[in-house]
Amino acid sequence: MRAALLVAILLALPVNMAHAASYAVLHRFASLAEGVAPAAGVTQGPDGTLYGTTSAGGTLACISPDDIPGCGTVFALAPKGAGGTGWKATVLYRFTGIDDGFAPLAGLLRDQAGNLYGTTAAGGANAENSACGVDGCGTVFRLAPPESQGAAWTKTTLYSFLGGTGDGFQPTGRLIMDSDGALLGTAEIGGSANCAEGCGIVFRLTPPAGGAGGWTETVLYAFPGGAGGANPTTALLPGPSGSYYVTTQFGGADLFDCEGVGCGTVVQLLPPAAGQSAWQAQIVHSFTRATDGAYPAGDLAFDPNGDLYATTSLGGGAQFNGGTAFELQPPPAGGSAWSETILHRFGRVFKDADSPGTLIRTKAGTLLGAAGGGGRNDDGAVFALSPPKAGQSGWQDKLLHRFPDSSPGGSPNGALYQAPDGTLYGTSFGVGTLTDFGLVFSLAR
Asked whether residue 374 is domain-assigned, the answer is: yes
- Distance of alpha carbon 203 from alpha carbon 279, whole angstroms: 11
Torsions phi, psi for 39 (to 5 deg): -95, -10
Torsion of CA 33, 38, 39, 41, to 10 degrees: 140
Give the pLDDT band (50/70/90) at residue 133.
confident
Residues 388 and 335 in one domain: no
Residues 144 and 228 in one domain: no
* Count of the separate structural domains present in the chain: 3
Q: Percentage of the chain with pLDDT > 70?
A: 90
Residue among 363, 407, 364, 403 at smallest CA distance from 383: 403
Beta carbons within 10 angstroms of residue 115's beta carbon: 16
Residues 247 and 362 in one domain: no
Confidence at residue 9, expressed as pLDDT on a 0 to 100 scale: 31
Confidence at residue 12, expressed as pLDDT on a 0 to 100 scale: 35
Residues 37 and 155 in one domain: yes
Asked whether residue 218 is domain-assigned, the answer is: no
Beta carbons within 8 Å of 319's beta carbon, 6+ residues apart: 347, 349
Residues 360 and 336 in one domain: no
Asked whether residue 210 is domain-assigned, the answer is: no
Confidence at residue 210, expressed as pLDDT on a 0 to 100 scale: 80
Residues 366 and 327 in one domain: no
Task: Give the residue numbers spanning the domain of 397.
Answer: 351-445
Residues 298 and 430 in one domain: no
Asked whether residue 11 is domain-assigned, the answer is: no
Confidence at residue 433, expressed as pLDDT on a 0 to 100 scale: 60
Q: Is the pLDDT of residue 307 over 90?
A: yes
Q: Is the pLDDT of residue 274 over 80?
A: yes
Residues 73 and 134 in one domain: yes
CA angle 148, 149, 152 (to 5 degrees): 80
Query: Concatenated DSSP letters for 376-433?
Result: STTSBEEEEEE---TT--S-EEEEEEES--SSS-----SPPEE-TTS-EEEEE---SS
pLDDT digits (tens, 9 = 90+) for 317-362: 766 678 999 999 999 887 789 999 999 999 865 568 889 999 999 9
Q: Among residues 345, 361, 379, which one ends one of the domains?
A: 345
Global pTM value: 0.92
Give the pLDDT band (50/70/90) at residue 282.
very high
pLDDT (average), residues 360-376: 91
Q: Among residues 126, 161, 180, which one ends one of the domains?
A: 180
223 and 232 Cβ atoms separated by less than 8 Å? yes
Asked whether residue 55 is domain-assigned, the answer is: yes
Residues 355 and 332 in one domain: no
Peptide bond preceding 404 in cis form (omega within 30 of 0): yes
- Distance of alpha carbon 111 from alpha carbon 183, whole angstroms: 11
Residues 338 and 365 in one domain: no
Residues 30 and 176 in one domain: yes
pLDDT (average), residues 76-87: 79
Instruction: Using alpha carbons, list the distances in angstroms from residue 409 to 30, 418, 430, 437.
Output: 12, 20, 5, 8
Residues 274 and 360 in one domain: no
- Distance of alpha carbon 234 from alpha carbon 312, whole angstroms: 12
